[in-house]
Amino acid sequence: MLLHSLNMKRLGIGLILVLLVVALFWRSLAKQKELNSSLNSSVKSSVAPDLSLDDSENPLKTEEASSSLTSSAQSSAEASVGKVEESLFEGEVELDENRLAFQQVVKNPKKKYPLTLNQQVWRVSRTDPTKKEYLGERKMVADHLLVKLHSTNQSAEFESHITSFGMKIRKKMSGSGIFIVEFEMNSHDALQKAQKRLLGLPEVRSVSPDFISKAVF
Q: Is 25 part of a structural domain of the chain? A: no
Determine the residue type at 115.
L
| Domain that residue 117 falls in | 86-213
What are the backbone dihedrals phi and psi of residue 172, each rounded to the nearest 5 degrees, phi first?
Answer: -115, 125
Tell me, what's the pLDDT at 51?
41
State the number of CA atoms in the 13 A half-sphere of 214 facing the CB: 9
Q: Is 35 part of a structural domain of the chain? A: no
Q: Is 119 part of a structural domain of the chain? A: yes
Tell me, what's the pLDDT at 174?
83
If one counts the domains in the chain, the total is 1
Non-local CB neighbours of 2 within 8 Å, separated by 6+ positions: none
Q: Is 110 part of a structural domain of the chain? A: yes
* Vertex 139: Cα angle to 133 and 143 (nearest 5): 125
Of 196, 210, 164, 203, residue with least CA distance to 94? 196
Instruction: Please give the C-alpha separations between residue 88 and each of 115, 146, 187, 195, in angstroms, as whole numbers.
Output: 9, 22, 8, 20
Tell me, what's the pLDDT at 7?
57
- CATH number, position 143: 3.30.70.920
Q: Is 58 part of a structural domain of the chain? A: no
Q: Is 144 part of a structural domain of the chain? A: yes
Tell me, what's the pLDDT at 23?
72
Tell me, what's the pLDDT at 49?
46
Q: Is 166 part of a structural domain of the chain? A: yes
Q: Is 2 part of a structural domain of the chain? A: no
pLDDT in tens, the chain (217 residues): 555 555 566 666 767 776 776 677 667 777 666 766 665 555 444 444 444 445 444 554 445 545 554 555 555 544 544 568 899 999 999 999 899 999 999 999 999 999 999 999 999 988 887 889 999 999 999 999 999 999 988 999 999 999 999 999 999 998 888 999 999 999 999 999 999 999 999 999 999 999 999 876 6
Tell me, what's the pLDDT at 129?
76
Tell me, what's the pLDDT at 56?
47
Tell me, what's the pLDDT at 83?
63
